[in-house]
């Protein structure tokens, strides 16, 4: 990559970063204006934390030591907030099915632990940091890749579940979940590019990360609406499936998970 290309990428990264910070503030304000801040509290928390961090980091600018340490110390907090976002999405999708919600929380924590273990084994060759200029950052990005890929898979499972069982879901919640699917995908691609070549691909990876994040922010800002908090009366049903039977199965599974007792009408 030529020196001119590197400079252009640097300018683009700065521009998209500043734009993303603006749209983050705008989205937080919109959620409060629509009175959705309590409904999507995990989203508000992660956006507010990222906004505060971005404002501090924008003032410091890389590659100062203060910038690096603030980023390294705060990133694990951001990853933890992502987990709470996914829990919030899952719980609201199945807010009428408490048994399934409990199962989801347990499954998510288990999946995170298992995925991290698998990642450490499958990516053990990447722990040769001989060509890595910032070793702590490489370790953090490996952790981020593991967490984000796990949460992305979990979201895909939830979407697949909704595609089969006719559970009524608010449109705002669908926008919320779909946006985070794209968000986690962009983070994974960004980390992958940087890990391929930390020297050449860092700015490109940052551009992918910030561009994906900004795109999601713009989408949320445009699509979150107060009227979309109403639960639709009709839901899409898979071809050949009978709504009443599917909902009966869902109720039966929820009762088993809630009470621990198999209902008489439960069938496999």
Q: How many Cβ atoms sit within 10 Å of the Cβ of residue 100?
A: 23
89-146 residue pLDDT tens? 888 887 756 655 555 556 666 766 766 666 566 555 555 555 655 667 777 777 788 7
The predicted model gives 254-261 an average pLDDT of 56
Across 12-31, average pLDDT: 94
Is the pLDDT at 43 greater than 50? The verdict is yes
Mean pLDDT of 152-166: 73
> Where do the domains of the chain lie?
3-225, 240-268
**DSSP H helices in 94-201:** 98-122, 135-164, 171-196
> Is the per-residue pLDDT at 61 higher than 60?
yes
Show the tokens assigned to 8.
């252009």
Q: Please name the residues in contact with 173: beta carbons below 8 A apart, sequence gap of 6 or more.
A: 89, 92, 93
Do residues 40 and 231 touch, judged by C-beta distance below 8 A? no
**pTM for this structure?**
0.79
pLDDT at residue 266 above 50? no
Asked if the bond preceding 186 is cis, omega within 30° of 0, the reply is no
Residues whose CB falls within 8 Å of the CB of residue 26, separated by 6 or more in sequence, listed in order: 217, 221
pLDDT at residue 257, rounded to an integer: 52
pLDDT in the model for residue 41: 95
Q: Model confidence at 72, in pLDDT bands (50, 70, 90)?
A: confident
Considering the domain delimited by 3-225, tell me its CATH architecture: Up-down Bundle (1.20)
Query: What does residue 140 show for φ and ψ, rounded to 5 degrees?
Result: -65, -40
- Residue burial 48-60, b: 16+ Cβ < 10 Å; e: rest: eebbebbeebeee
Rounded-to-integer distance, Cα 175 and Cα 172, Å: 5
* Span 238-260, average pLDDT: 54
Give me the pLDDT at residue 80, please: 93
Report pLDDT for 106: 63
- CB neighbourhood size of 227 (10 A): 8
């Amino acid at each position: 990559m030529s020196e001119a290309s590197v400079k252009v990428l640097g300018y683009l990264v700065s521009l998209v970063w500043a734009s993303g910070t603006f749209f983050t503030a705008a989205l937080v304000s919109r959620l409060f204006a629509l009175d959705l801040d309590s409904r999507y509290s995990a989203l508000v928390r992660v956006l507010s934390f990222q906004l505060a961090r971005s404002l501090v980091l924008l003032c410091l600018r890389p590659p100062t030591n203060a910038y690096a340490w603030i980023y390294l110390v705060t990133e694990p907090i951001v990853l933890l907030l992502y987990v709470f976002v996914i829990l919030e999405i899952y719980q609201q999708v199945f807010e009428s099915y408490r048994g399934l919600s409990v199962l989801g929380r347990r499954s998510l924590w288990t999946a995170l632990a298992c995925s991290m273990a698998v990642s450490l084994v499958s990516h053990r060759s990447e722990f040769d940091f001989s060509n890595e200029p910032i070793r702590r950052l490489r370790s953090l990005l490996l952790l981020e890749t593991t967490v984000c890929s796990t949460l992305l898979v979990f979201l895909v499972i939830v979407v697949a579940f909704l595609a089969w069982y006719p559970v009524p879901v608010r449109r705002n919640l669908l926008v919320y979940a779909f946006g985070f699917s794209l968000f986690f995908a962009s983070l994974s691609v960004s980390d992958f590019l940087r890990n391929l070549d930390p020297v050449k691909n860092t700015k490109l990876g940052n551009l992918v990360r910030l561009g994906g994040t900004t795109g999601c922010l713009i989408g949320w800002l445009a699509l979150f609406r107060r009227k979309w908090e109403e639960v639709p009366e009709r839901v899409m049903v898979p071809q050949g499936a009978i709504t009443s039977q599917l909902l009966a199965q869902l109720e039966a599974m929820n009762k088993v998970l809630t009470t621990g007792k198999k209902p008489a009408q439960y069938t496999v």
